[in-house]
Structure 1
Amino acid sequence: MDSNKKYWKGLEELNNTPEFVEKNKHEFAEPIPIEDVLSGSGLSAKTPRRDFLKALGFGVGAVTLAACQKVPVHKSIPYLIKPEEVTPGIANYYVSSFEGQPILVKTREGRPIKIEGNPGDILTKGGISAQGQASVLDLYNSGRLKGPEKDGGETTWDAVDSFVKNELAAIKAGGKKIRIISSTVYSPSTLAVINGFIAAFPNTKHINYDSVSYTGIIQANQNSFGKAVVPRYRFDKADVIVSFGADFLGTWVSPEEHTLQYVSNRNAKSLESKKMSRHIQFEAGMSMTGTNADTRVPVKPSQEGLALIALYNELSGTSLPGSGKLDSNVVANAIKVVAKELMAAKGKALVVAGTNDVAAQVLVNAINSLLGSYGTTIDLDTANNKYAGNDAEFTDFIAEMNRGEVDAVFFLNANPAYDYYKQKEFTDALAKVKLKVTFADQKDETAALCSVLAPNHHYLESWGDAQVMEGYYAIVQPTINPVYNTRQAEQSLLHWSDSPVKDYYTFVRNTWDTTIFPKSGMGSGQKAWEALLQTGFVKLADKPAGTYTFSKDLNAVAQTIANASAKLAAGNGQVELALYVNNGVGDGKKANNPWLQEMPDPVSKVTWENFAAVSEKFGRDVLKAEEGDVVEVKVDGYSIKLPLLFQPGQAQGSVSIALGYGRTASGKVGDGVGANAYPFYSFRNGTFQTTGLVTLSLTGEKSPLAQTQTHHSYEGRSVIREASFAAYVKNPAAGSGRGEEKKDYNATSLWDDYDRPQYNWVMAIDLNACTGCGACVVACNAENNVPVVGKDEVRRRREMHWIRIDRYYSFNDNGTTAVTKEDEIVKLQDFDNVSVVHQPMLCQHCDHAPCETVCPVLATVHSSEGLNHMAYNRCIGTRYCANNCPFKVRRFNWFNYWNDSRFENYMQNEYTQLVLNPDVTTRFRGVMEKCSMCIQRIQAGKLKAKMEKRPLKDGEVKVACQQTCTANAIVFGNANDPESEVSKALKSERTYYVLEELNIQPGIGYQVKVRNTNEQVA
């Protein structure tokens, strides 16, 4: 461990600003006057909790009865005749799929309450993203449409069917066009329904429209190899990975699949074999993938294409147009070194780019061809089906509407009135269409423009299927009957096209019986169907990945890239813009989900809004601004106002802004949160581009960001340990301190030690596997009834998350930075050149727990199984335990978030209990709470083993954070079992314990972060 290396959570901590010093004088978050509490004025926020609850709430009876019968009623009644599959107090699990990924849905008394990954899923091995975890909450959104509507008023399905069929018949007779606009459809059954509709109405065309487009990759592969696909990338087969702006661990193409692959070459098993991949990231804004890179090189958007040209030249020995135009020696030198590393790993190398520009993606194809990547790290024959959007087709569709050629348009999971970059152009054109139908489940921005609203089911109420990858099929099955009077979009299309099969469930079964089961070897009929509903998916035999050779002339391609780069170069007070998607609200479709809004962004730790990220040097020297100042971002007459964030690692002269915010019709949680950046898109060379030029100007306003990164200070203590891969190979204990002479901190102890006769529950967390994605935070929320508190409360340091992901920056020690004595300021600061470590932090369940000794009422005590327990009904809220906890992982309930009648406008219990886990007590005002290691899961596992008269098996109990982690960064188990996975992990020479010098004996061991660095790069 390098004791001279300085780690810091944010610039305020690094610079020890007066505001930071003042905040850390106070042990607890600042209180507010009791009169403000009672009046509610202390709780106001742009997104207040009253709106959160209104968005979620409706009567319990509706959902309870929907679990058992088809027509929802609004009175809760006891079971007279109990449904056969429901046993009160016992959870049922059903297989389904979320956005094509196989999942398990946990239900209690017929009510879905938790999403978990399917352990058999070949792409994630049971992990699932934060969005997947949060998706169950959307089922209980009262903003969903309660039934069909026509011309702004409620109507019946029969009336809708009659009207739409008559209109379609007239349109068919008149020869006008019909268009179905959807996000990419990758369901075999849905595609069959759409094709049947097209057969009934031959003037229909289906257009895939993705707000976050991959048309550039698809078209580039068509141009290069005659295969218009997004390939399957194999990061697990790559020894050297180079990414140009592709956030492949966060949001690019298939992040959960990529995470599992990526970590397999960097986790404990790989390191023990003395193997580790090497990852270099070139990008403008700091992405989640960039924080995990071994080496990260900031590069402006205008320079990214030129860097690709330079890399191709280095690999091929040629000189393409645009060569030698890089304006950064750091980037130029890095490209030369990276080229050598890629060539040394030929056949096991992978280059990816996040741009949607066809020319740049063609050049990436040429680079990968030189490296022998096709057939090894890139598979064009097992394509990814999740993105098939065609940007040019959608712009042509708008032209068709303007010419009056389209008489009917149907919108399926598409909202172009919000996320199309020229909104007025779209809405004006749509006004010329006679029949406008949407299948949206709530009145979103596009639905507000439609005459017919035919609301779709939530996916947990639906039948269906998915094929996100060639040869990999998943089933979607309902886990609750429809809560409202909604109907599946496919069922509506079947009705309107007079399909001989009117029932969509039957249609799905027919699809599997006729097209999928015969290829699967599972047999057919009822037996195969029942097997499918137990496994959740079918995987056909793998196709061998073919090798492809690039043989096109690149001069014109390179010239196109060079011309585009010249146009992007900032001048006349302009700033280069990079738009991106974060892994919370994503493209905006999830904006109304409060769990995702309150999940801290993995990099910035900002909640409840987007922002303009610039480098500190640019912000202070050029904009003359401070962090939190509001700037106006403007281009071509469109402008938005956003607070500034000073982001270490941001390329100088650039600004990064997240998409997916600024909704006006998402629901009461998401409306008005942040600003809409989609109008900053541009349409160049046939595709939507996420880069451009903007101007930034100060407004004179201030808007403090709701960040969580510096809410919990360690007062300068060292909690992060890391080592280089070279040092690890020489000494596996490098960085951990194991093997060194260490003081026996337990020589004189205030605590007695006790035996753990049967179970000693402990945890291991591998910092080399954790990517910082935050899925564990949302999983913990769902499992343990952790409340959402809203933007203002987060600003007051009152977020309630039981687990947090701390993000630490450090300066790279390659001569560009220097650190003086600890009490002096860091000099020669180079904020372009920082590295990041993510550290999950939760209650450490210390054997010598300092919280236990100070509690005057024994509300927190230690168990005979090594856990730190909380007896909520004993707690009187002294907060002594929080004061005495060096990890700052305890949370104080300032309010009765769940069930205090004084706050019925904020946390109405009748509404929120629909998503509560009945196995976990909800906490009340004045009570401390913190991680319990999901003790309800431990007890359930022990009870099951006892009933089956056997010992508890290792891995049988998985805590929520562990279960959701695709990277398998968290391992939980019994330390008394020497063969358990956690025991083996903690025996690793990389293991260290945070603040072990305090002799509190934490129950969670961390494995040192290892970086495969090359000092020649950047």
Structure 2
Amino acid sequence: MESNKKYWKGLEELKTTPEFVENNKGEFAESLPIEEILSDAGLKAPTPRRDFLKAMGFGLGAVTLAACQKAPVHKSIPYLIKPEEVTPGVANYYVSSYKGHGILVKTREGRPIKLEGNPACILGEGRLDAVTQASILDLYDVSKLKDPKLDGKDATWASVDTFVKGELNKIQAGGKKIRIVSSTVNSPSTNKVIADFVAKYPNTRHVQVDAVSYSGILGANQASFGRAVLPHYHFDRADVIVSFGADFLGTWISPLEFNRQYVVNRNLASLKNKKMSRHVQFEAGMSMTGTNADVRVALKPSEEGLALLNLYAVLGGGGSAPKLSNAKAATALGLVAKELLAAKGRALVVSGSNDIATQTIVNNINTLLGSYGTTIDITNPSYQYLGNDADFVTLIAEMQRGEVDGIFFLDSNPAYNSVLPKEFAEGLYKVKLKVSFSERLDETAALCNVIAPVPHFLETWGDANAVAGYYTIVQPTINPVHNTRQAEQSLLIWSDNAIKNYYQYVKNNWETSILPGAGLSWKQLLQTGVVNSGAGANAPAAASNAAPAVNAGNAAQAILAASAALAKGGESVTELTIYESVGLRDGSYANNAWLQELPDPVSKVTWDNYVALNPKYADKLGVTEFDLVEVKADNYSVVLPVLYQPGQAIGTASIAVGYGRTKAGKVGDEVGKNAYPFLKLQNGSLQNAVAVTISAAGGKRELAQTQTHHSYEGRNIIRETTFNKYVQDPHSGTGKHGEHPTYDLWPEHKQIGHSWVMAIDLNACTGCGACVVACNVENNIPVVGRDEVIKRREMHWIRIDRYYSFQDDQGASLTKEDQIGDLAEGDSTLEDVTVINQPMLCQHCDHAPCETVCPVIATMHSSDGLNHMAYNRCVGTRYCANNCPYKVRRFNWFNYWNDSRFDNYMNNEFTQLVLNPDVTTRSRGVMEKCTMCIQRIQGGKLQAKIEKRPLRDLEIQTACQQTCPTNAIIFGDRFDPNSAVSKALGNERTYYVLEELNVQPGIGYQTKVRNTTEAQQA
């Protein structure tokens, strides 16, 4: 039975705009560039594509395509003396760590090519996010520095050492200050090196400042508990989760860990036991976390603090609740308060605000709910963010007064991401010795007289202590490619430390401080990669350790004052929220092409940031989508394109940081605009909400979005239900009230031995995009660039489709016509939308429509149920893409990996070292799509054969499955009734997309379940 609820990918589809109709009425996204292809071969093509193929024939056409390509040159370097541990063709794996997360590094013939999660890691438990997956590309970045620099010129390390030591001695003798400026350092060995350096030069102070600050939480916990710590949150222990602007699934504190925790009470196993957590999100801009909430309420930034005060009062915290003009939010808060009290001891309230007063009220609320010792652990805190905003302001004042003569920048780029870039640059000019430890000539390094370039983390030794009691080791998997040196080793040399070799320093530190308590040897550590010393690292603190809530009076007054100031301009100003994007985060990864081309989980925009506005509010401002607008605050302005964002609160706008780099490298330079200067220093911390004015700037800039590139012609492919309905009927929402009849027009495919299939749980998928990047890395998928994405030519084998929907005021589902009518009549503000994410890839149909139309049998069915592509047969007719109802096949328009004419950021021999040798790199003119990682299937089969045993369940994992933080993807053998995939596909929530077409897809989806009633959604 088909649901009455209608879904739409974007406003263009909902309104059926002329542009949407035009883009989807053609047979293909765009015609073949025949003139360009033949021009390369010295030929002329006056005829259209169809006539050309008719006249020339498929065979000659294929020859012409092949003639356009230069013969590849393969360079082979044999081993004269083969290393004992290296066997050509066989991968080696090494443990390491990235940002405190344990990882496994896959290397082939000495070069790292893929990262996976370390199953022993307590944060990811064998899973990785998109940023970590893509970080391997930075190892082969041609934009990085190759030698140290002194006064802008290449120098030797000896000359740099002599100069720096001489300057340090002068500074120390003169009594001036030395400052080490870094982002959060949670490495025990690095902190010890810095302590040794300070002992040598006592005028030194270590200043930690994070581009995206959590000073508000640290300051609030200092006030509430006497400890400036970041709690270790446990979303898996919460039955009710309420978030005020905290994008904990996307970017807040530890999103990989929080994704894994979040789905524990929402996945297949939990629902099978008729148990599901409840999540309510209050926020201004639509976040990735907001798209997954059971109930989402649009709320202005000026209202968030007031809403928290209301919630605190209703929960019995005392004080009078300020009036909240948002009626929907006020009603929701009353319901939320009852649910939180009912779940006392298993409740969690979080806020994304960086305001100390706001976070103090959050502490009080969680104290009332008994969250400390259960869902919040402050006894064993997180060390992932330790930066102090006030310390950095003090540093700038010191530099401007001329008190600092030496400064070192370690993993820090304040010339780009500081809220006071002008003041910082003026102060830095007065400092004599300016040293940057940077991989590249970034914005801050360009202002320094010494650049001591550091290697990529896969070339280094190190360690991390992300959570109390939990340690990870960093070990190199390749020798430094360039003439670089670790910052720690430079500090050891410049401080005349007795141990100048950082490897030996790390080893000594572990053997004396950490390993004895863990009962491990150094050799064992290099095999396990992690140490979890004591139950504290992964267990809640004792409830008695939580201090009572502090007096909320002062905090309440500060919140009321800040809210009034933010809303002071009324309708003449817009409340702007500054946020991190899921891909680029704070901008450190701006030069990573895989992340630039990763569609944003909410907007599906690539290669740009933008001003997100509610369409109704944009109308009020007199601007339309893609119009360039000027966003202006007191002392800063940028010009950016407008993006229509359903779910955005009326009267608000959102802009992502991480863009607007000027010295990131070839990929990241001049992409978007810098939003950091919009941040506001107030009450000792950076505030991420500010009042701005928005006005038309003239002109347009089309954004490279991927969401509506493919049309399903209005077919119903999403299944959704509520938790109450699911409990009453586990088949609710699936539409399976009788199987669709099947007919065979062709002989049945005989499957021998295995039948490879996949299950995807829509309730577990949060839309994070980790699977997209993992697939890119594993299968040598190139980026194509902004212009090509606009032409609908992105090459991703797996995409995550995002669908909007909303209901009327009584909670009844609206038809598409009703939704359009409401928009036309102005009844809908487009604030109250729900979102579903659906991973979509080749469905490996048993009745594959692509196979029946390929004239050269380039696409075919295997004996184990997979749809294969024979690249050397494909002549690029694209008939298969046209005949695929899922629109998951990709056509190569260029030789993306080696076409020197095409600036795709990967067309150089150095970057191509990241390529997986087990996967063919495809050439221009052929079709490609998901293979279910056939190379992994074959590798697993071979290993089982060598060991003379049958395959084990989950022994073979696709790249998307292995990295998925929420275990939403399960791959395996359907013929094994005890396999995880067989059990998942046997679940009552399972349905198959477009099964009514009788294509018999090999991927089953589990219906989305929301813990809400329809009335509550309204």
* TM tier, smaller: over 0.9
Does structure 2 retain, via aligned residues, the 8 Å contact 1:846–1:1003?
yes
1:24 counterpart = 2:24: yes
Give secondary structure in 1 for the equivalent of 2:570.
Answer: coil
- Offset at residue 822 of structure 1 (A): 5.6
- The aligned length equals 976
- 2:155 maps to a residue whose letter is T
Shift of 1:755: 3.2
Q: For residue 101 of structure 1, what is the aligned residue in structure 2?
A: 101
**Alignment correspondent of 1:501:** 499
- For 1:379, the equivalent position in structure 2 comes to 377
Deviation of 1:120 after TM superposition, in Å, equals 2.0
Alignment-mate amino acid for residue 530 of structure 2: F
Task: Single out whichever of 459-468 and 117-126 deviates more from structure 2.
Answer: 117-126
CA contact (8 A) 1:900 1:907 kept: no
The amino acid that maps onto 1:285 is G
1:793 and 1:33 map into 2 onto residues whose CA distance is 13
Change (3 A) 1:884 1:405: same
Corresponding residue number in structure 2 for 1:199: 199
Q: Matched residues in 2 for 1:879 and 1:168: separation?
A: 66
Amino acid in the other structure paired with 1:741: G
The answer to whether the aligner puts 1:147 opposite 2:131 as a matched pair is no
The match for 2:128 is: 128
C-alpha displacement of 1:900: 4.2
Identify the residue that residue 329 of structure 2 maps to in structure 1. Answer: 331
- Structure 2 unaligned blocks of 5 or more: 41-71
Match of 1:46 in 2: none
- Counterparts of 1:276 and 1:251, CA distance in 2: 23
Mapping of residues 814-853 of structure 1, within 5 Å: 814-815=809-810, 819-820=814-815, 825-827=820-822, 828-853=827-852
> In 1, are the aligned partners of 2:756 and 2:971 still within 8 Å (CA)?
yes
User: For 1:232, what is the secondary structure of its paired residue?
Assistant: strand
The answer for the alignment partner of 1:741 in structure 2 is 738
**1:996–1:1002 CA contact under 8 A, matched in 2:** yes
CA 1:147–1:907 in 2, change beyond 3 Å: closer, same or farther?
closer
Report what 2:993 is aligned to. 994
1:623-638 to 2 correspondence within 5 Å?
623-638=621-636
- Answer yes or no: is 1:485 the counterpart of 2:471: no
Deviations 1:202-241 (A, max 9, x none): 1100010101000100110010011110000010000000
Deviations, residues 762-789 of structure 1 (Å, cap 9, x unaligned): 0000000000000100000000011100
Superposed, 1:356-395 pairs within 5 Å as 356-395=354-393
Q: Which amino acid aligns with 2:781?
A: V
Kept in 1, the 8 Å contact 2:896–2:904? The answer is no
**CA-to-aligned-CA distance 1:538-570 (integer Å, 9 cap, x gap):** 111113503214342211110100000000114
Query: CA-to-partner distance for each residue in 1:904-937, whole Å, 9 max, x for gaps?
Result: 8876353442111110001111100000000000
1:36-55 aligned at under 5 Å gives the runs none
Q: Report deviation, 1:574.
A: 1.1
Query: CA distance change for structure 1 residues 997 and 826 in 2, over 3 Å: closer, same or farther?
Result: farther
Say which SS state the counterpart of residue 723 (structure 1) adopts.
strand
Which residue, 550, 553, 569 being the options, matches 1:552? 550
Contact 1:380 1:546 (C-alpha < 8 Å) held by counterparts = no
Change (3 A) 1:743 1:803: closer
Letter in 2 for 1:162: T
For 1:975 and 1:122, how far apart are their aligned partners in 2?
31
Distance 2:1012 2:910 in 1: 51
1:345 to 340, 343, 351: 343
Q: Secondary structure at the match of 2:705?
A: coil
Q: Residue type of the partner of 2:756?
A: W
Per the TM alignment, residue 902 of structure 1 is displaced from its structure 2 partner at its CA by 5.7
- C-alpha spacing 1:121/1:971, structure 2 compared with 1 (3 Å): same
Pairing 1:610-621 to 2, within 5 Å after superposition: 610-620=609-619
Residues of 2 paired with 1:293 and 1:967: CA distance?
Answer: 15
Equivalent position of 1:49 in the other structure: none
Going from structure 1 to structure 2, the CA distance change for 1:38 and 1:316 (only over 3 Å counts) comes to farther
8 Å contact kept, 1:288–1:771: yes
- 1:325 Cα deviation after fit: 2.5
Counterpart of 1:54?
Answer: none
Amino acid at match of 2:795: M
For 1:31 and 1:637, the matched residues in 2 are separated by: 48
Classify 1:353/1:17 alpha carbon distance in 2 versus 1 (closer, same or farther; 3 Å). Answer: same
Corresponding position of 2:9: 9
- SS for the counterpart of 1:8 is coil
- Classify the secondary structure of the residue corresponding to 2:837: strand
Q: How does 1:410-421 map to 2 (within 5 A)?
A: 410-421=408-419
The Cα of 1:167 is off from its aligned counterpart by 0.8
Which residue does the alignment assign to 2:44?
A: none
Match of 1:68 in 2: none
Partner of residue 753, structure 1: 748
Give the Cα separation in 2 of the matches to 1:157 and 1:435. Answer: 16
Q: Secondary structure at the match of 1:7?
A: coil
Quickly say closer, same or farther: Cα 1:906–1:140, change in 2 above 3 A.
Answer: closer
Equivalent residue for 1:788?
Answer: 783
State the identity %. Answer: 65
* Aligned equivalents of 1:1016, 1:462: Cα separation in 2: 52
Deviates more, 1:204-213 or 1:751-760: 751-760
1:690 corresponds to which residue? 688
CA-CA distance at 1:887 after TM superposition: 0.1
Match of 1:644 in 2: 642
- How far apart, in 2, do the equivalents of 1:463 and 1:741 lie? 60
SS in 2 for 1:126: coil
Which whole-Å CA distance do the structure 2 matches of 1:156 and 1:285 have between them? 50
> Given that residues 807 and 813 in structure 2 are in contact (C-alpha distance below 8 angstroms), is that contact kept between their aligned partners in structure 1?
no
**Alpha carbons 2:783, 2:904 under 8 Å: kept:** no
Q: Which residue identity lines up with residue 582 of structure 2 in the other structure? A: N
With normalisation by structure 2, the TM-score equals: 0.94
Q: CA deviation at 1:818?
A: 6.0
Task: Write out per-residue CA displacement over residues 2-56 of structure 1, whole angstroms, 9 at most, x where no aligned residue.
Answer: 621010000000010111011111132224755567999xxxxxxxxxxxxxxxx
CA shift in 2, pair 1:850/1:545, >3 Å? same
- 1:695-752 deviations in Å (ceiling 9; x for gaps): 11111211111000100110000110011000011111111133x23442x1x32133
Alpha-carbon RMSD across the aligned residues, in angstroms, is: 1.8
Matched, 1:81 2:76: no
Q: 1:688 to 1:712 in 2, by over 3 A?
A: same
Counterpart of 1:559 in 2: which secondary structure?
helix
Distance change >3 Å, CA 460–CA 824, structure 1 → 2: closer
Contact 2:614 2:648 in 1 (8 A): yes
- The separation in 1 between residues aligned to 2:310 and 2:228, in whole angstroms, is 26
Q: Secondary structure at the match of 2:909?
A: helix
CA-CA distance at 1:985 after TM superposition: 0.4
8 Å CA contact 2:616–2:829 kept in 1: the answer is no
Q: In the alignment, what sits opposite 1:511?
A: 509
- CA displacement, residues 107-153 of structure 1 (integer Å, 9 cap, x when unaligned): 11101111111122222111101110000100111111111100000
| 1:529 match | 522
Which amino acid in structure 1 is aligned with residue 287 of structure 2? S
1:898 Cα deviation (Å)?
2.0
Moved more, 922-931 or 804-813: 804-813
Deviations 1:823-851 (A, max 9, x none): 99353434111111000000000001010
- The separation in 2 between residues aligned to 1:936 and 1:988, in whole angstroms, is 29
What is the CA–CA distance in structure 1 between the aligned matches of 2:371 and 2:1002, rounded to whole Å? 44
Structure 1 range deviating more: 723-732 or 536-545: 536-545
Aligned to 2:964: 965
Paired letter, 1:298:
A
Q: 2 CA distance for matches of 1:203 and 1:112?
A: 41
User: What is the CA–CA distance in structure 2 between the aligned matches of 1:906 and 1:232, rounded to whole Å?
Assistant: 39
- Counterpart of 1:156 in structure 2 is 156
Tell me, yes or no, if the aligned pair for 1:817 and 1:829 is still in contact at 8 Å: no
In structure 2, the partner of 1:234 is 234
Gaps of 5+ in 1: 41-59, 65-74, 523-527
CA change 1:936–1:358 in 2 (3 A) is same
Residues 490-511 of structure 1: CA deviation (Å, up to 9, x unaligned): 0000000111111000000011
Give the Cα separation in 2 of the matches to 1:461 and 1:210: 24
Look up the equivalent residue of 1:316 and give its one-letter code. Answer: G
**For residues 146 and 374 of structure 1, do their structure 2 counterparts lie closer, same or farther at Cα, with a shift above 3 Å needed?**
same
The answer to whether residue 935 in structure 2 is matched with residue 936 in structure 1 is: yes
2:804 match: 809
Distance in 2, matches of 1:231 and 1:822, equals 48
The TM-score with structure 1 as length reference comes to 0.94
Read off the aligned partner of 1:536 and give its amino acid letter.
Answer: G
